[in-house]
Amino acid sequence: MSIPEGDDASPMPDLSHVPTWIVTDGKAGDENQCIGIAECLKLPYELRRITSRPFGWTAPWGPIDPRDAPGRKGGALAGPLPDIVISSGRRAVPYLRALRQASGNRSFTAFLKDPRTGHDSADFIWVPDYDDLRGPNVFTTLTAPHQVSRARLEAARATPDPRLSVLSWPRIAVLIGGDSRHLRYRPADMKRLVKNLANLADGGSSLMLTVSRRTPDALRKALEKLVADKGGFFWDGSGTNPYVAMLAIADQVVVTSDSANMVGEAASTGVPLLLFDLPKTYIRHRRMFAGLAMAGALKTFVGRLEGLQYAPIDATPEIALAMAKAFAEHQKRLTAESSRS
C-alpha cells in the first residue's frame, strides 16, 4: 500500500494516551526512524534497547536472550506490555516476535524496514519503495521516516542559529557521511569533494558543514581547512547540534550518497539537493536517488549550484497516518473478539 508523499490532507489522530515501546539495538539510524513516527503521532514512548550480543548473532530467526523475556524484571522487555511496539533492525525481530506471543497478539506491532522474516512478522511494516517486500500490511514510500519535521524546520527558521545566520547568501548545507560496510571514501573521492566545495565557496556561497563519526579523519581535516581558508561554518561537535538549523536556512544542500537517511531528511526542505556520488553506493539507494531526481529534487553535485524546484518531500506523516489506521483496525478486531468471547 502507498499514498503520495506530501499529502497531509487527512488529520493525524491523537494517540498521546497510547503506551508505546520503541525496540531497537540502539543503532542511531533505526532508532531515529522509529522516534520520527512516534513523535508524529504524539505517542508517549519508552526506548527499549537490546544489549545482548550473543543472541543477536542468530537474528532475525533465533530466540531472544532469556534474561530479556517479556515481563522479566531487569530485562529489556520488563514491565506491563504496551499497546504499540515500534521496532527496527535485525536484532530486534526476535524481540518483536516474543512480544507478540507474550501479549497474545494484543500489542500492535510495527516494524520499519524489511524484517527478513516475511510480511506477517508484524501487524504493520514500512519499507522504502526500492525494497522488494510487499504484502497487505506493507506500506511503501520513496523516502524514510525521520525527525526533521515541518514544525522543527519552521521553528529553526523563526529563531535562526546565530552561528549560521551571520553567513551571507547563498548558504549551502553540506552533509558528509563516511565509510561503511559497503563503501569506502578513496583519496580521489575526498579530493574531488573538497575541490567541488571550494568551487562553491569561490563563487560566493557560504558553506555550512557537518560530518559524521564515520567520516575519514583525512577528509574531516581537509574540510576544516577548507572552511578556515574560505570562510563558512564547520561544526566541530561543540555547542548545540546545528543539523536542523542548517537545513532550515539552507538555499541548497550538498549530501553524500552513502547516507540515504540524510538525503531523505534533506528532501524535506524543498531546496535543491546536490548529491555527491560515491562509487559503490548501495544499488538500492540509487533507486531512491533516481526517484528524487525524477521528482525534480536532486542532481549530481559537480561543483556548482542547480536550479531545482519541487514541493518538500517528507514521508513521515504518511507513514504515521498509515500506521495509525492499521492500529485502529487492530483495535476494532480486538474489540470484536472480546465481544464474541
- Give pLDDT, residue 180: 86
Grid coordinates in use for 323?
Answer: 500506521
Of 123, 119, 128, whose CA–CA distance to 109 is shortest?
Answer: 123
- Give pLDDT, residue 300: 98
Q: How many residues does the chain have?
A: 341
Handedness of CA 59, 64, 68, 70 (dihedral sign): positive
Helix (H) or strand (E) holding 192: helix 187-202
| Residue 268 one-letter amino acid | S
The domain limits of the chain are 20-146+316-340, 150-300
CATH topology classification for 20-146+316-340? Rossmann fold (3.40.50)
Domains 20-146+316-340 and 150-300 share a fold: yes
- How far apart, in whole angstroms, are the C-alpha atoms of residue 182 and residue 295? 27
> Which stretches in the chain have pLDDT values below 70?
1-10, 341
- How far apart, in whole angstroms, are the C-alpha atoms of residue 266 and residue 126? 20
Q: What would the pLDDT profile of 286-339 be if each residue is shown by its tens digit? A: 999 999 999 999 999 999 999 999 999 999 999 999 999 999 999 999 999 888
Of 1, 6, 10, whose CA–CA distance to 267 is shortest?
Answer: 6
Grid coordinates in use for 225?
Answer: 581547512
Cβ neighbours of residue 252 closer than 8 Å, sequence gap 6 or more = 170, 172, 173, 271, 272, 273, 274, 305, 306
Cβ neighbours of residue 119 closer than 8 Å, sequence gap 6 or more = 125, 133, 134, 135, 136, 137, 138
Query: What DSSP string describes 76-106?
Result: TT-SSPPSEEEEESGGGHHHHHHHHHHTTT-
Please answer whether residues 212 and 124 qualify as being in contact, where contact means their C-beta atoms are separated by less than 8 angstroms. no
Please answer whether residues 143 and 313 qualify as being in contact, where contact means their C-beta atoms are separated by less than 8 angstroms. yes
CB neighbours (10 Å) of residue 71?
11
- How far apart, in whole angstroms, are the C-alpha atoms of residue 23 and residue 19? 13
| Residue 200 one-letter amino acid | L
Percent of the chain with pLDDT over 90: 88
Handedness of CA 48, 53, 59, 63 (dihedral sign): negative
Query: In three state form, how does the secondary structure of 296-310 look?
Result: CCEEECCCCCCCCCC
- How far apart, in whole angstroms, are the C-alpha atoms of residue 208 and residue 243? 9
Q: How far is CA 177 from CA 22, 186, 230, 274, 280, in A?
A: 25, 13, 21, 14, 14
Q: What is the value of pTM for the model shown?
A: 0.92
Cis check: omega of the bond before 60, within 30 degrees of 0: yes
- Give pLDDT, residue 9: 53
For 150-300, the fitting CATH number among 3.40.50.300, 3.40.50.1820, 3.40.50.2000, 3.40.50.720 is: 3.40.50.2000
Phi, psi of 49 (to 5 degrees): -100, 135
Please answer whether residues 313 and 6 qualify as being in contact, where contact means their C-beta atoms are separated by less than 8 angstroms. yes
- How far apart, in whole angstroms, are the C-alpha atoms of residue 33 and residue 126? 11
Helix (H) or strand (E) holding 46: strand 45-49
